[in-house]
Homo-oligomer: A and B are copies of this chain.
Amino acid sequence: MSRAKLQVFEQFAELARVLGHAHRLELLEYVAQGERSVERLAQLSGLSVANASQHLKQLRLGGFVQARRDGKRVLYGLADGPILSLLAALRTYAERNRPEVGKIVSDYFHRLDELEPVSRKELVHRLKAGTVVVLDVRPQDEFVLGHLPGAVNIPVDELKRRLADIPKNQEIVAYCRGPYCVFSFEAVALLRRHGYKVRRLQDGYPEWRAAGLPVGSS
Contact = CB atoms under 8 A, between A and B. Distances in A.
Contacts of A15: 90, 93-94, 97-98
Interface string A76-99: 000101110110111111101110
Contacts of A9: 22-23, 25-26, 180
B8 A180 contact: yes
Contacts of A23: 9
Main secondary structure of the interface of A (DSSP, over half): helix
A86 B85 CA distance: 9
A26 B98 CA distance: 23
Query: Size range of the interface on A?
Result: 35 or more
A13 interface: yes
Nearest to A105: B8
Given A97-B63, A100-B11, A180-B8, A90 B16 contact: yes
Contacts of A46: 1
A81 B101 contact: no
Interface string A8-21: 11111111110111
A12, A62, A79 pick with most chain B CB within 10 angstroms = A12
A82 B93 contact: yes
A180 B82 CA distance: 13
11 contacts: A4-B104, A4-B105, A5-B108, A9-B180, A12-B25, A15-B90, A15-B97, A63-B98, A82-B89, A85-B89, A86-B90
Interface of A: 1-17, 19-26, 45-46, 62-63, 79, 81-83, 85-86, 88-94, 96-98, 100-101, 104-105, 107-109, 180-182
